[in-house]
């Protein structure tokens, strides 16, 4: 049991809290599911990029899936070995490509023909051979929220199968490109197995057709996307997930690369916020809290649901209320029509499942400093990021202020 009251007192609110032991259990579960096969779990750093969180995964033997050179630098700084780092993303700048090649990471996930051309050109200038993998778009409906669907042609990610094949041939014939892998990632918060299986089947067939023309890949990168329970969703068991994928790889000797983000961190995280006041507009009840959309944007952005727990209060006489923050936007809410007991100034609310796409999506909108971040390990809490103060927020502007 986490003593939220004590944490609020010690670190203030709003506050992010991450249970590292939960992350360990999730990691081990997934690793176990792929046991007996060569596999690399590459934690998707964007889900929660706090250095101490990445370092925790480094100690568990995890790799890192990065979507910017900043994330690659974070991963290296946190102790992830370079040979376990992947660089994905639909738009990479030249300087990012250059640094990725220089850093000698495992491979770059290439997402377009034009990008392949840039990588080749940059590698050539450096007299290097860049290890690449191509992100294919198998055109499979992942049956998730449209904002987190990525595996349909209508989404901006990856290339269609015919284009991919052409790109592999180009790469094979280039002395500056070394095609080592194939990658797909059809979406996030996946709760159905069938689309994953279907996509894996299509991509495995591609691997076979490439082998037939002497292009032998080593890495079969299945992306991330494994869903978690926010409310009452049924989720996929890691074992079934692994079996579904492995079942499509018959006769292929490949290292499975998996890029879980949410699965590892979402339910390890809590967002703790304090009630400022209640107010009623006509019939509508609002609970105004000190946390806001700049801290946790998922409800505003995806209409995401986070379970809310009232700390130290009997959950009686509940009526529906919107939990809203101080930010000047009607979209600034953390929950809608949520049944809550009467609340007063100083009461604490905990939003569950806030460990993925929480802090990292935060901003300084309304000149609000970002929350502090705390981890709990073996029952002990420790600060892993300071609360931002006003000086932090103006640091990059102050010198330009004219007298």
Catalytic positions, written as ranges: 328
Q: How far is the CB of 154 from ligand PLP (least distance, A)?
A: 17
Q: Which of 263, 270, 305, 338 binds ligand PLP (CB under 6 A)?
A: 263
Q: What are the two backbone dihedrals, phi and then psi, of residue 274, each rounded to the nearest 5 degrees?
A: -110, 140
Q: How far is the CB of 168 from ligand PLP (least distance, A)?
A: 19
- Residue 259, interface with ligand PLP (CB under 6 A)? yes
Q: What is the crossing angle of helices 69-77 and 94-102, to 10°?
A: 30
Contacts of ligand PLP in 327-356 (CB under 6 A): 356
Cβ neighbors of 357 (< 8 A, separation 6 or more) are 46, 47, 48, 261, 262, 266, 298
Q: Segment near ligand PLP (CB under 6 A), from 95-103, 125-133, 256-264, 394-402?
A: 256-264
Q: How far is the CB of 41 from ligand PLP (least distance, A)?
A: 11
Q: Which of 56, 165, 262, 285 binds ligand PLP (CB under 6 A)?
A: 262
Measured from the CB atom, the residue of 217 and 343 that comes closer to ligand PLP is 217
Q: Segment near ligand PLP (CB under 6 A), from 218-226, 311-319, 321-329, 339-347?
A: 218-226
Q: How far is the CB of 236 from ligand PLP (least distance, A)?
A: 12
Q: How far is the CB of 49 from ligand PLP (least distance, A)?
A: 12
Segment (H or E) for 250: none
3-state secondary structure of 299: helix
Q: What are the two backbone dihedrals, phi and then psi, of residue 194, each rounded to the nearest 5 degrees?
A: -55, -50
Report the alpha-carbon distance of residue 49 to residue 69 in Å, rounded.
13
How far from each other are the two terminal CA atoms of the chain, in whole angstroms?
53
Give ∠ CA 365-16-348 in degrees, rounded to 5: 95
Which tokens is 244 given?
Answer: 């579904």
- Residue 92, interface with ligand PLP (CB under 6 A)? no
- Residue 185, interface with ligand PLP (CB under 6 A)? yes
**How many angstroms from the chain centroid is the CA of residue 32?**
21
Q: How far is the CB of 184 from ligand PLP (least distance, A)?
A: 9
Measured from the CB atom, the residue of 126 and 193 that comes closer to ligand PLP is 193
Buried b (16+ CB within 10 A) or exposed e, 171-190: beebebbebbbbbbbbbbbb
Per-residue x/- track, 41-60, ligand PLP (CB under 6 A): ---x-xx-------------
Report the alpha-carbon distance of residue 76 to residue 65 in Å, rounded.
12
Beta-strand runs (E) in 252-332? 255-258, 269-281, 284-289, 308-310, 319-324
Residues near ligand PLP (CB under 6 A), total: 18
Measured from the CB atom, the residue of 225 and 362 that comes closer to ligand PLP is 225
- Cβ pair 157, 112 in contact under 8 A: no
Q: Segment near ligand PLP (CB under 6 A), from 195-203, 261-269, 293-301, 321-329?
A: 261-269
Q: Which of 68, 188, 248, 300 binds ligand PLP (CB under 6 A)?
A: 188
- Residue 111, interface with ligand PLP (CB under 6 A)? no
- Residue 362, interface with ligand PLP (CB under 6 A)? no
- Cβ pair 179, 130 in contact under 8 A: no
- Residue 260, interface with ligand PLP (CB under 6 A)? yes
Report the alpha-carbon distance of residue 48 to residue 359 in Å, rounded.
7
Q: Which of 158, 181, 225, 369 binds ligand PLP (CB under 6 A)?
A: 225
Measured from the CB atom, the residue of 260 and 269 that comes closer to ligand PLP is 260
- Residue 96, interface with ligand PLP (CB under 6 A)? no
Q: Could you tell me how many residues make up the chain? A: 403
Q: Note the residues at the interface with ligand PLP (CB under 6 A).
A: 44, 46-47, 65, 67, 88, 185, 188, 223-226, 259-263, 356
């Amino acid at each position: 049991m986490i003593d939220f009251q004590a944490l609020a007192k010690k670190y203030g609110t709003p506050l992010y809290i991450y249970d590292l032991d939960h992350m360990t259990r999730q990691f081990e579960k997934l690793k176990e599911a792929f046991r007996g096969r060569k596999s690399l779990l590459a934690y998707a750093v964007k889900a929660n990029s706090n250095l101490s969180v990445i370092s925790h995964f480094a100690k568990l033997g995890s790799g890192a899936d990065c979507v910017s050179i900043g994330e690659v630098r974070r991963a290296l700084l946190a102790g992830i070995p370079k040979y376990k780092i992947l660089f994905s993303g639909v738009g990479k700048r030249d300087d990012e490509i250059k640094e990725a090649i220089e850093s000698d990471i495992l491979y770059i996930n290439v997402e377009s023909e034009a990008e392949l051309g840039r990588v080749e050109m940059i590698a050539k200038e450096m007299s290097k051979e860049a290890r690449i993998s191509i992100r294919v778009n198998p055109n499979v409906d992942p049956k998730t929220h449209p904002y987190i669907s990525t595996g349909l042609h209508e989404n901006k990610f990856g290339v269609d199968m015919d284009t991919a094949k052409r790109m592999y041939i180009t790469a094979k014939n280039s002395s500056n490109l070394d095609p080592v892998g194939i990658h797909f990632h059809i979406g996030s918060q996946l709760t159905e197995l069938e689309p994953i299986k279907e996509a894996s089947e299509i991509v495995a067939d591609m691997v076979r057709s490439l082998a037939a023309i002497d292009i032998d890949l080593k890495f079969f990168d299945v992306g991330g996307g494994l869903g978690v329970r926010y409310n009452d969703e049924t989720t996929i068991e890691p074992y079934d997930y692994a079996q579904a994928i492995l079942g499509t790889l018959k006769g292929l000797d490949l290292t499975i690369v998996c890029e879980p983000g949410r699965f590892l961190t979402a339910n390890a995280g809590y967002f703790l916020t304090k009630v400022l006041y209640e107010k009623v507009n006509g019939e509508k009840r609002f609970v105004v809290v000190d946390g806001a959309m700049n801290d946790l944007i998922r409800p505003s952005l995806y209409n995401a649901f986070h379970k809310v727990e009232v700390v130290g209060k009997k959950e009686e006489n509940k009526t529906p209320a919107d939990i809203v923050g101080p930010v000047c936007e009607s979209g600034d809410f953390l929950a809608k029509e949520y049944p809550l007991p009467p609340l007063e100034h100083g009461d604490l609310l905990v939003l569950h499942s806030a460990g993925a796409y929480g802090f990292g999506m935060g901003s300084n909108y309304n000149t609000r400093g970002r929350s502090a971040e705390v981890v709990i390990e073996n029952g002990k809490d420790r600060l892993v990021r300071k609360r931002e103060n006003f000086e932090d927020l103006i640091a990059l502007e102050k010198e330009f202020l004219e007298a």
